[in-house]
Structure 1
Amino acid sequence: MDREERTVKVKARASSGLSGFFVPHITGSLETTGAAGGGLGIDSTITVEISLEALDRSQGSVALLNIINGVEVNSCLARYIVEKILSISEEKSNRIIIKQSISVPIGGGYGTSGGSAVAISFALAKALNVPLDFYTITEIAHEADIVCKTGLGTVVGIVKPCNGITIVRKPGGPRYAEIMCIPIDDSLLALTAFYKPIPKNTILTNLEDLEKVRAIGLETLRKIELNPTPETFIDNCYRFAIDSKIMTPTVRNTIELLNKVEGVIGASMNMIGEALFALIDKNVVDNAVEAVMTTDPKWIYIWRPGNNGIDIEVIKHSETT
């Protein structure tokens, strides 16, 4: 008896989104829930390769394997996205293998969950040939980030290209969010240093904390919108981290060292992780790195802030009978 076999491989690349401040916005709808805020894109730091292999009916309908940096992970994000897109797809019998390569620290306030959600959603929709438009695919990624409690507004900032600082002025999903891009001069680079992850549930433990952060975040956004420059952004991110009491002693100490280096525009803490980011003159990179290295970070990176959206590539498509 003839047996049909089908193998599809699709690769997607997305940015991670380092957050400098946020304004939680919780509603009764996943479409309108989100966060205003702002941060820096780190381009092409998340690569997802999805392989679809046809299953015999005796093997069941769907088998899912999710691997992050070589380690199998039971991921709420991956499960949610797969179930959502499969509910629309006509193809039901597939072994789905998701291989993720993430080149920034996970849990450090770099928006890896949002970036993964974007890359998985677009790659899977392409692999399954599901006729969904850009906004619908992005909405699935946005929903997954919220349902799995891994983020609020990261997805909408990642999918919109910006060669500079991304500001989410109006929160919500992709059909509701409003994005502004603050250009960064060619003379500036960004530096980040990571120390350790911070679980989000240890920071915002009750509604009162959330409301305080929301009020501080709204004032931060207002000041940045009045004068949208890199200097205003980084200064107000620092004020946000201090006033919200999220800033850790380790990060504050490193920022004080960095601010003594001539040519450092400013620095603040990643939201949320024990990590920092700074805007620096490209001519003082070595001096800035030297100052940070005295505090023994686990990871340090220099880059030109921005992101180019999502890139999708079909790398294999074969069918035999």
Structure 2
Amino acid sequence: MVGTAVAFSPGHISGYFRRVEGSDPRTTGSVGAGVVIDEGVRATVVPAAKTGVRVIRQGRVSTGSPPVEYALDRLGVTARVTTECRLPIGAGFGLSAAALLATLTAVNHLFDLGLSVDEVASRAHEAEVVHRTGLGDVAASRSGGVVCRMGPGIHADIARFYPDEPLYAVSLGPLPTASVLSSEEAMARIASAYPDRCPRDIADFCFLSRQFAERSGLIAPDVRKVLSACDAAKIPASMTMLGNGVFAAGNSAERVLSGFGEVYRLNVARRGAYLIEMRP
């Protein structure tokens, strides 16, 4: 009898977005552009009498995840879930969505629920919207590439392209997504700052994202210092949305960002969430 399922989901860096308020979670979400990255979340799921979640990041362990617990409860299953990631949590890398997609992909196979990929994504998106941990990361991370989401929810049209050049990112600490998504003032600024077109390439993605970051008023002082250093070196860069960090492109990006913290080299993912293994 299979007793453990392991799955992985890529993360997602959002460059710019605009919230779309629907009548329910299925029609609520965002439009915008971002990059699905090869780093993300690995989830290991084991049946249990009561649901419990452990979150492991570089050896540090915390417990509990309301979105994951909510999603499992909605499915009527209980399990012991362990999520693991290398990137910092709450820093704009779409790890909440990745944890949900990885966990629900594993749960679907472990409990033989027979959910389609769309249904798994719908459940993950609902949990994100309900807990205000994200709006468009699930839709983006269903597959890879640089993405441009043209409607809310997981069924809207999404354009994708797959460049070979990497992005580099540095995190300056967490920025609680819910605090921004719950602010009507912040949402109004974000809506007016939104650049209403898709990016043509990585450089254009960085340009549009930076334009949005400046106009939205979301750039914190620490982020401004990093962006100024990138500007001085003529490196395309912007703020991770929503996170207290910076992503940049180009040959000198890693060197410049290294002056502000640990630098993460992030390749564009070629696929979305997938099952790694099932074992006894």
Corresponding residue number in structure 1 for 2:168? 191
SS in 1 for 2:108: helix
Specify which of 119, 127, 151 is matched with residue 144 of structure 1: 127
The within-5 A match list for 1:46-57 is 46-53=41-48
Larger Rg, first or second structure (1 or 2): 1
Corresponding residue number in structure 1 for 2:271? 308
- Determine if contact 1:44/1:307 at 8 Å carries over to the other structure: no
One-letter code aligned to 1:312 = L
- Determine if contact 2:132/2:178 at 8 Å carries over to the other structure: no
SS in 2 for 1:28: coil
Identity %: 22
Is structure 2 residue 140 aligned with structure 1 residue 157? yes
Corresponding residue number in structure 2 for 1:80? 70
Corresponding residue number in structure 2 for 1:111? 94
Corresponding residue number in structure 2 for 1:56? none
Q: Deviations over 1:40-74 (max 9, x none)?
A: 12214210010125xxxxxxxx3112110052422
Specify which of 177, 180, 195 is matched with residue 159 of structure 2: 180
Q: Which runs of 4+ in 1 moved over 3 A?
A: 201-206
Corresponding residue number in structure 2 for 1:37? 32
Is structure 2 residue 239 aligned with structure 1 residue 269? yes
Q: How far is the alpha carbon of 1:21 from its aligned partner? A: 0.9
One-letter code aligned to 2:188 = E
- Determine if contact 1:13/1:119 at 8 Å carries over to the other structure: yes
Compared CA separation, residues 98 and 254, structure 1 to 2 (3 A): same
The within-5 A match list for 1:1-321 is 8-53=3-48, 62-69=49-56, 71-86=61-76, 96-162=79-145, 165-172=146-153, 174-175=154-155, 177-184=156-163, 186=164, 188-204=165-181, 206-217=183-194, 220-222=195-197, 225=198, 228-261=200-233, 264=235, 266-280=236-250, 284=251, 287-295=252-260, 297=261, 299-317=262-280
CA distance in 2, matches of 1:44, 1:303: 7
CA distance in 2, matches of 1:85, 1:279: 40
Compared CA separation, residues 183 and 42, structure 1 to 2 (3 A): closer
- Determine if contact 1:46/1:100 at 8 Å carries over to the other structure: yes
Q: How far is the alpha carbon of 1:308 from its aligned partner? A: 1.3
CA distance in 2, matches of 1:76, 1:140: 14
User: For structure 1, which runs of at least 5 residues remain unmatched after alignment?
Assistant: 1-5, 54-61, 87-91
* Length-normalised TM-score, structure 2: 0.92
CA distance in 2, matches of 1:183, 1:120: 26
One-letter code aligned to 1:313 = I
CA distance in 2, matches of 1:257, 1:215: 27
CA distance in 1, matches of 2:53, 2:227: 37
Higher strand share: 1
Q: Deviations over 1:249-277 (max 9, x none)?
A: 22222122123336x3x100001111000
SS in 1 for 2:209: helix
CA distance in 2, matches of 1:127, 1:51: 8
- Determine if contact 2:144/2:271 at 8 Å carries over to the other structure: yes
- Determine if contact 1:169/1:221 at 8 Å carries over to the other structure: no
SS in 1 for 2:3: strand
CA distance in 1, matches of 2:144, 2:119: 18
User: How many residues get paired?
Assistant: 277
User: For structure 2, which runs of at least 5 residues remain unmatched after alignment?
Assistant: none
* Length-normalised TM-score, structure 1: 0.80
- Determine if contact 2:132/2:182 at 8 Å carries over to the other structure: no
